Amino acid sequence: MGWMYWTWPTAIFFMTIFAMIGGMLVWELLSPTIERRGFLRVPTTRGTRFFIGLLGSAYIHLAWIGFTDLTLWPALLPSALWMFIVMRWG
C-alpha cells in the first residue's frame, strides 16, 4: 500500500482550493446567489460556475502538460483568465 507524499506545493494547492470554497460559503451566506444564464447557456449559480471554472482550469493544465514540454507555471495565466471569465460572465 502506497502513501501519498505531500509536498509543500501540493499542500498549498489544496489549502488554496479549500480557502476558496470557504470564501464561496461566506459569500453565499452574506449574499445568496440567483440562478442566471450567461455564455454557458445553462442556468448556473455562483457555486456551479466555480466548479466549472475549476474543471476548465484542470483541463487547461492537462492540455498544457500534454501538448508542451514547458514548465507548468505559465499555464496559470490562461487558467486564471478562464476562471475569471466563467465567474464573471458564465
Domain range list for the chain:
8-89
3-class secondary structure, 37: strand
Hey, what's the cell of 11? Answer: 499542500
- What does each of the 90 residues of the chain score in pLDDT, given as a tens digit? 667 778 888 889 899 999 999 999 999 999 999 999 999 899 999 999 999 999 999 999 999 999 999 998 999 999 999 999 999 998
Q: How far apart are CA 65 and CA 55, in angstroms?
A: 15
Residue 82: CB atoms within 10 Å: 19
3-class secondary structure, 33: coil
Residue 7 confidence (pLDDT): 87
| H or E segment to which residue 36 belongs | strand 36-37
Residue 2 confidence (pLDDT): 66
